Structure 1
Amino acid sequence: MMLAASIFSASSLAKVAPISQWQCDMMLKTSVLAQGAPVGCERLSKVDFEFIDFQGQSKQGSVIVLDVVAPSVEKIFSDLKQRNFPLHSARLMREFKGDDDASMNANNSSAFNARPITGGSSWSKHAYGVAIDINPVQNPFLEFGDNGTIKVKPIQSATKYINRTQFRARDEIERSGMAEAVVDLFAHHGFLIWGGGWNTPIDTQHFEVGSRLFVNQLVSKPKPEATKLFNSYIDSYRTCYQQNKAQGGEKARAMCAYKTVNAF
């Protein structure tokens, strides 16, 4: 019995499964999946995983992503736990009825949500299941107005997490969970674009896969072909990084991410 329990515990750390009909119906009911969305339930997978919260406790979380990126997402969250990188929560967007602001205000890490880009009309990469947001409070979204105003989401980030400098040892725990610490990890598993590197908006919680052209290929091709393409994309980045890491890890990551995104 002890051996069986141990095996079950180890195998339950992370799991990838197709979306069930019930889950699909709930996503439609709660406006997480909209009519005309670029990806349907047949191409989505649910990733269940364990994570460490800010109190050091082990918790259960889930995200929904495009099927071909799901194995990489499983590895991302397993690696986050291994690094003791904390997450506040990771609840499915149906619990927030697809309301991105509500999810951010709850400091919730999330993925699939069939919504437009913030402030625009085209589909967000979250609508394709190829984007992940982590710890929105520690990693806010900054939007710049024409008159020089700055809108911070969620608002509770404004007094603590706009300054991204990791300073003073006593701030290390208080400022843990910031995305800068794991940009390399996300890139290693194919999420090469980090919104914290954008000029406007600045979206420090946001990681995504490749160009829109590349993402559309992943969605339009049959799963076996799309999987092969995504694996080639990851291998291209990792090969470039290995060849250039002597220049410095951050420099090599940025250069190889740029080259890979533009090559695919």
Structure 2
Amino acid sequence: MKRPAALMALILAAVAACSAEEPVASPTQAPTQAATTAPPPSPAQSETPTGPPAFTSKVSAVKRDDVPYSWRPGCPVPLSGLRLVTLTYWGFDDKAHTGELVVNKSVTDDIVTVFKQLYGWKWPIERMELVDVFKGDDFDSIDANNTSAFNCRAATGSSNWSKHAYGLAIDINPQQNPYVTAGGSVAHDNAEEFKTRPLDEPGVINGRDRVVRAFEKVGWEWGGYWSGTKDYQHFSKGGG
């Protein structure tokens, strides 16, 4: 009777040996996968510029330090009635530049509208700085071919205030667009070759051209239409 007991012992030993093998994964346990490293995300690609920088403009209050020479007590417009316009313009070097103009606060939209058009046309301007860079000297500013607006001064040949003294006038490229007397003379030697009209040269303003029309659309008049004396550089709100 000992043989069946021995057989049973052998069977139990075999079962124990099978249970010692690697266990089967439970149904809820995910099978182990080989570790992988994800590639880093590609850096964002900047757009390549396809043209000139966008036109920008900024209008801000005028501080006394901005106009140490061009404004003084007794001027027809208080500082609070003026605004500093910082804007983009296209240069004779075919590059974008940033310039400044001081104008009456009532015409800032006019100025931004027109100069945005000029920039879009790549219509060239030599320089655009406040007349205070020239210590308020209108002659020196014009001689440097500087485009400027406000200057508390009398009108040329008059004791009355100029439209510039109100911030309602601007002179553009005065070398290419000079002040020409009825006798045909100019005050600046560098403008002699530009005193006749029409004239097909960069930065020159001619009657009924797109620059004149752009100003006319916002209610500004051109000095090139004056009878007798011609002020080709000059635009003013409402004329004068």
Q: Shorter-chain TM-score category?
A: 0.7 to 0.9
Q: Does residue 17 of structure 1 match 2:50?
A: no
| Matched pairs, number | 189
1:161 to 172, 186, 194: 194
Question: 1:164 Cα deviation (Å)?
Answer: 1.3
Instruction: Specify the alignment match of 1:133 in structure 2.
Output: 171
In structure 2, distance between residues paired with 1:37 and 1:143: 27
SS of residue matched to 1:151:
coil
The answer for the alignment partner of 1:183 in structure 2 is 212
> 1: CA distance between counterparts of 2:188 and 2:214?
24
User: Residue 200 in 1 paired to residue 240 in 2?
Assistant: no
In the alignment, does 2:85 pair up with 1:47? yes
Q: What percent identity do the matched residue pairs reach? A: 35
Report deviation, 1:17: 1.3
1:37 aligns with 2:75: yes
Matches within 5 A, 1:36-115: 36-115=74-153
Letter in 1 for 2:188: P
Q: Cα–Cα, structure 1 residues 211 and 76, in superposed 2: closer, same or farther, change >3 Å?
A: closer
| Structure 1 pair 2–132 and aligned structure 2 pair: CA distance change class (3 A) | farther
Please give the per-residue CA displacement for 1:184-235, whole angstroms capped at 9, x wherever unaligned: 01111221x11001123210000001167xxxxxxxxxxxxxxxxxxxxxxx
* 1:179 shift after superposition: 1.7
1:101-134 deviation line (CA, Å, top 9, x unaligned): 1011100000000000011110000000010110
In structure 2, do the counterparts of structure 1 residues 18 and 164 end up closer, same or farther at CA, with 3 Å as the change threshold? same
2:181 aligned with 1:143: yes
TM-score, normalising length: structure 2 = 0.73
Identify if the C-alpha distance between structure 1 residues 77 and 2 changes in structure 2 by more than 3 Å, giving closer, same or farther: farther
Q: Is the 8 A contact 1:51 1:81 kept in 2?
A: yes
State the alpha-carbon separation in 1 of the partners of residues 73 and 137 from structure 2. 16
Structure 1 unaligned spans of 5+? 167-171, 213-264
* CA deviation profile, 1:123-147 (whole Å, cap 9, x unmatched): 0000000101100010000124xxx
Contact 2:85 2:108 in 1 (8 A): yes
Structure having the higher Rg: 2
> 1:32-58 CA deviation, whole Å, 9 max, x = no partner?
013311101101011111111112111
SS of the residue aligned with 1:186? Answer: helix
Counterpart Cα distance in 2 of 1:2 and 1:207:
45
Taking structure 1 as reference, are residues 71 and 2 closer, same or farther at Cα in structure 2, changes over 3 Å only? farther
Letter in 2 for 1:61: G
Which structure 2 residue ranges, 5 or more long, are not aligned? 1-43
Normalised TM-score (structure 1):
0.67
Task: Provide Cα deviations, 1:75-102, integer angstroms capped at 9, x if missing partner.
Answer: 1111110011100000011101111110
Is the contact made by 1:134 and 1:205 (CA closer than 8 Å) also made in structure 2? yes
Cα deviation for residue 67 of structure 1 reads 0.4
Supply the AA of the counterpart residue of 2:62.
I
Specify which structure has the higher proportion of helix: 1
Deviation at 1:150, TM superposition (A): 4.1
Report if aligned partners of 2:222, 2:239 keep a CA contact under 8 Å in 1: no
Quote the Cα distance in structure 1 between the aligned partners of 2:191 and 2:66: 31
Q: In the alignment, residue 194 of structure 1 is paired with which amino acid?
A: W
SS in structure 1 of the partner of residue 194 of structure 2: coil
Is the contact made by 2:154 and 2:165 (CA closer than 8 Å) also made in structure 1?
Answer: yes
